[in-house]
Amino acid sequence: MTQIAAIIGGGVIGGGWVARFLLMGWDVRVFDPDPEAERKVSEVLDNARRSLPGLSDVALPDEGTLTYHETIAETVAGADWIQESVPERLELKHKVYKTLQEHCEKGAIIGSSTSGFKPSELQQGALSPAQIVVTHPFNPVYLLPLIELVPSAENTADVIEKAKNILTSVGMYPLHVRAEIDAHIADRFLEAVWREALWMIKDGIATTEEIDDAIRYGFGLRWAQMGLFETYRIAGGEAGMRHFIEQFGPCLSWPWTKLMDVPELTEELIDLIADQSDAQSGHHSIRDLERIRDNNLVTILRGLKAQDYGAGKLLVSQDKQMNLLPQALDDIADFGTEVVTVHRAVPLDWTDYNGHMNEARYLQAFGDGTDHLMKIIGCDADYIASGVSYFTAETHIRHIDEVLAGAKIKVVTQVIAGEGKKLHLFHRMLEGDRLIATGEHMLIHVSLETRKACVPDERVAIPLQKLAKAHAALPRPDGVGAAVGVR
């Protein structure tokens, strides 16, 4: 049954929550009295639809249904998750909670996007304090996985666990903050860096661009995949963290920082920061900057995903949850049809200067299809570890039509021949019913010890023969045996 998320407040953060839930298959209801809310959310969704699917190597669930409502009562009725993202005014939040708790389900989770208020402050005067927790995200919510989940003593273990499970199910990482603290964990760090940056600008030490360069070209990239302490552990060398602390700990007492003293935000300082920021980035529109940001984040996250590390490990886990492709021959209901071996979106980093999928990525997609077909017939990691595998001997790709970033593609595979040492496959790449490309591949079964051709044993030979026999009844696909040249 489709789950329902109610989003109260459709600004930058609320719009990001809409995108995250909607693109993960939830029905989403939105309440925001701003007459421009629907337009703003729509623009955020355009960016999310373009970038989020590219994080996954399997297709996302079918998009949920998005509706806008005139009242909070209509919005929250029947909702499983309610996300409050209204302005940071405590009296306004209390007013919103009173209204929504009068109409929402008793078992619904009410999460607040607040970056500063503690849950106990939010729960004051609430009809059901145990429903309300802090679920503080980071922008863009549809790409960044961290959610600071902050409960109070009012929240039961069951509520906390339910919140964790829901957040995890939509690809997010709930960081359980065990103690209430103003600004939670992450914003405390950000505030410290922000204060120091303000002083550097005021004192003429650095410009906004120079400060951003220090982060994005240096420690920001390290922090993106290892955080603070793991990074410093490596900095300690073979001697580890203890050596690092012993070597650099005394620096903490040196008069480097002004973190305990905040510069007055005078009009002069505000103008200085604003002017420098305009000079740095003013030639880009906000939408352009968002797309640049999204491109960079997708690239970083996909890189981390390839290493199964940090935030990339979450993406690998999420793909496994969503992957509905057949994993073995027994998972195929009808052997007499082509097998779906790839089902995914085209990510941003698969496109070229023409704006469509790079020709090398066609080969990657077809190669992924071949790998998956091998797994289905039993040539899996255990089989390969036993010392035998398939090597590709010849490939022929026909580029029929172009495909753009964000398009959902699938590869369907037909076994043309599967006897003895040879495995002859024909792939078709489709976007819906539209044929994008075909790939024909001849593989040879080999011994990994001798690197010579050999016959597969029954672990692969029997399922392959069964599939090949069924596929022999299919029409011979157009393009089999085609050569490069004028037709």
Picking from 176, 200, 228, the residue at the C-terminal end of a domain is 176
pLDDT of residue 60: 94
Higher pLDDT, 280 or 305: 305
Q: What is the mean pLDDT of the chain?
A: 92
306 within some domain: no
Tally Cβ neighbours within 10 Å of residue 120. Answer: 17
**Is 314 part of a structural domain of the chain?**
no
Q: Is the pLDDT of residue 257 over 70?
A: no
| pLDDT at residue 476, rounded to an integer | 94
Three-state secondary structure readout of 178-232: CCCCCCCCHHHHHHHHHHHHHHHHHCCCCCHHHHHHHHHHHHHHHHHHHCCHHHH
Same-domain pairing of 333 and 209 = no
**Nearest to residue 148, comparing CAs of 106, 204, 190, 107?**
190
Helices H, strands E: what count in the chain? 17, 13
| Residue 375 vs residue 183, higher pLDDT | 375
Domain residues for the domain of 35 are 4-176
Question: What is the CATH classification number for the domain harbouring 251?
Answer: 1.10.1040.10
Please indicate, yes or no, whether residues 167 and 50 belong to a single structural domain of this protein. Answer: yes
| Same domain as 74, residue 137 | yes
Residue 97 has pLDDT above 90, yes or no: yes
SS3 148: strand
Does 290 fall in a domain? no
CATH number at residue 126: 3.40.50.720
> Annotated binding residue at 11?
yes
Averaged over 204-225, what is the pLDDT?
A: 91
- Average of per-residue pLDDT across 408-437: 97
* Angular region, 263: left φ>0, alpha ψ -120 to 50, beta rest: beta
Same domain assignment for residues 158 and 241: no
Q: Are residues 78 and 216 in the same domain?
A: no
Residue 390: CATH number of its domain: 3.10.129.10
What are the tens digits of pLDDT across the range 258-274?
Answer: 666 667 878 898 888 88
Mean pLDDT to the nearest integer, 344-366: 94
The answer on whether 9 is annotated among ligand-binding residues is: yes
Q: In the numeric block, which tokens belong to residue 147?
A: 């959610």
The length of the chain in residues reads 487
Q: Residue 479, annotated ligand binder?
A: no
Whether residue 196 is found in the same domain as residue 158 = no
Question: Is the separation of the CB atoms in 446 and 391 below 8 Å?
Answer: yes
What single string gives the DSSP state of each residue in 383-394? HHHTTEEEEEEE
216-249, pLDDT tens digit by residue? 888 888 888 888 888 878 777 777 777 777 776 6
The answer to whether the annotation marks 10 as part of a ligand binding site is yes
User: What local confidence, expressed as pLDDT, does residue 239 receive?
Assistant: 75
pTM of the model: 0.84
Q: For position 253, what pLDDT does the model report? A: 61
pLDDT tier for residue 92 given thresholds of 50, 70 and 90? very high
How confident is the model over 8-19, as pLDDT tens digits? 999 999 999 999
Question: Do 193 and 186 form a contact (C-beta atoms < 8 A)?
Answer: no
Q: Is residue 164 within a helix (H) or strand (E), and if so which, with residue range?
A: helix 157-169
Share of the chain above pLDDT 70, in %: 96
Cα–Cα distance between 82 and 126 in angstroms, integer? 15
**Confidence band for 408, pLDDT divided at 50, 70 and 90:** very high
The answer to whether residue 304 sits within a structural domain is no
pLDDT value for 53: 93
pLDDT, position 391: 98
Question: How many domains does the chain contain in total?
Answer: 3
338 and 424 assigned to the same domain: yes
Residues 132, 197 within the same domain: no
Q: Which residue in 45, 55, 21, 62 sits closest to 348, CA to CA?
A: 55
Same domain assignment for residues 193 and 172: no
Q: At which of 176, 201, 232 does a domain end?
A: 176
| 372 vs 394: CA distance, rounded Å | 18
Count the helix, strand and coil residues of the chain and give each as a percent rounded to the nearest 5.
45, 20, 35
State the pLDDT at residue 134: 98
Rounded distance between C-alpha atoms, residue 279 and residue 165, angstroms: 44
Residue 485 lies inside a defined structural domain of this protein: no
What is residue 153's predicted lDDT score, i.e. its pLDDT?
A: 96
CB proximity list for 360: less than 8 A, separation 6 or greater: none
When pLDDT is averaged across residues 166-186 and rounded to a whole number, the result is 94
CA distances from 386 to 277, 322, 340, 393, 447 (A): 59, 29, 27, 21, 10
Name the strand (E) or helix (H) holding 373: helix 359-376
Q: Are 345 and 462 part of one and the same domain?
A: yes
Over residues 71-92, the mean pLDDT reads 97
Co-location of 11 and 148 in the same domain:
yes
- Helix (H) or strand (E) holding 299, with range, is helix 286-306
Q: Rounded to whole angstroms, how far apart are CA atoms 76 and 101?
A: 9
User: Mean pLDDT over residues 93-111, rounded?
Assistant: 97
pLDDT given for residue 192 in this prediction = 87
Run of H or E residues at 322: helix 311-322
Q: Which of 156, 176, 196 is the last residue of a domain?
A: 176
Pairing status of strand 109-112 against strand 132-136: parallel
Q: Do the domain assignments include residue 341?
A: yes
CB 7 within 8 A of CB 68: no
State whether 211 and 152 are in the same domain: no
* pLDDT for the residue numbered 183: 87
Q: What is the pLDDT of residues 106-120, one digit of tens each?
A: 999 999 999 989 999
Is residue 412 in some structural domain?
yes
More confident residue, 288 or 461: 461
Query: What was the pLDDT predicted at 231?
Result: 82
